Structure 1
Amino acid sequence: MTSITRFVREFLLAVQFFTRIPVTGRLAAWVGYSPELLRASAGHFPGVGILVGLFGAAVYALFHAVLPDTTFAPLVAAAFSTAATVLLTGGFHEDGLADVADGLGGSHDKTRALEIMKDSRVGAFGAMALVLAVLCKVSLLAILGSVEGVPAGWGDWEEAPFGSWYACAALLTGHIVSRSLPLLLIYLLPHAGDTATSKSKPLADQISSGSLLVGFTWCLAALALATFVLDVMNLIVACSFAVLALLWMGRLFKRRLEGFTGDCLGATQQVCEIAFYLGLAASL
């Protein structure tokens, strides 16, 4: 198997596993499956973020273009783009956030917290976490969609089709960065709980340095492209906020669970995404 073929197979498996994009029939048969392949596909989580971010950005731009130019247009566009990304991923990461909130909020005992996290029902802590997360994302994207000016690197144009460019670039970059940082949890922390029954069993072994390099190559390439729209210093601030969120989540999981689970990775993605938007908005 050539390196390019393996790269494509790993990417398509990540798409199949973390989105509702159909990878079926002959294509699925060609991609194949094995725990080793799924473990290697972890390096392509940021690549999946490109697809999700592009879809969310396209929906945001569409609604921003067709709605009247009013104060509430960015808010409506943000709400629909958030809904679109949830539909594309099946709420995979949001489900992880709810499970983690229920588990850590429901018990201080590690074993009991892990048991609660496995329960498919959503409790009070999970519901509150989901509502607050969606409110944060929608409101921050609405702020970013209200920015006036011209994209960085576009010269000194007096008139530029700016509109939703800033929010769209933030959406794309935020989804990629927030899927890159959780890879460090896999690399640095042990898997918590019963790996025999865990949904993230293939990730129980630490991610390889090669897969980690692939993941951050996706991320750095996206950040480089984002500089055509987003100011470099603003990006630095946004990424710093996301890294701080990662450090906080990692410390929380190490202290409370002595490791990570698949739900922890989803929760970290959500928190880092919100932190990225917050940092970008604050830097303006």
Structure 2
Amino acid sequence: MIKKITISIGLIVFAIFLFNGINKTLVSSTAGAPAKNTGSPGDAQNCATSCHTGPATTVSGWITSNIPVSGYLPDSTYTITATATCAGKTIFGFQISPQDNIGNKKGTLLVTSATTTQTVSTTGITDNKYMTHRAAGTTGTTGSHTWSFNWKAPSIANATAVTFYGAFVAATASTDTVFLCTKTYSKATGIENYSKNDFDMDIFPNPTTDKITISLANSASEMINIFIYDINGKQVAQLEKSNSTSGKFHKTYSITNKLSKGTYFVNVLVGEKNSIKKIVVL
């Protein structure tokens, strides 16, 4: 009897140890992944090599944005969306960092949902170089999970190609899988030479002194962002950020106290489609 009890206790202790070991690997970073785990050349490691089971699987399309295919505009702010997809998984995490090809941070990461995401910094440096999840942003869905945040593009002096390096974890209570994804964007050519428009729009009066009306046909319910840039490509105003309904978009904006006399470019983003027109303020 004593021998049986001893063996049973031993098995229970071993089972608890084993469960705790697995569980620690899976959920040790539910409050946010530690810095330098995106798999970028600068980080030189990812979640599969530092804290989770590997190897990591490379995927595409998990990092998207409303940055036009023509490239980003310096000092402009864009929305970055991260979506992890893995059938049957119920726990998700991520870390994304915008870097150049040698690991330098590019632009500024901006939290838009403080309950589900946060920035973390390189050890010993307050650089907010990485965007990652919070505990509240790891559960609540099955099979996929989505986070979003904003990214302010670097100024003209530092505007070079930027790659968003991302590491994702999809897990259950007993298994986890690591995925790596990248998305690269280039700086747009001089905005004054920009000619590719994805849709037609009208801006009037032009020239103007105090207000402009923007009119366009919107075929679907999508996010609309309207920015104004000076001739150097610097963002000087944002007129609109809203979810539109399908149909005609027609809205008048006051530019009094927003723009001085000069030449500007109005950039309208509808989803991932883009159109730019020049205006003159008298």
Q: TM-score range by the shorter chain?
A: under 0.3
Higher alpha-carbon Rg: 2
Higher RCO, Cα 8 Å, sep 6+: 1
Q: What is the TM-score of this pair, normalised by structure 1?
A: 0.22
Q: What is the TM-score of this pair, normalised by structure 2?
A: 0.22
Answer 1 or 2: which has greater helix percent: 1
Answer 1 or 2: which has greater strand percent: 2
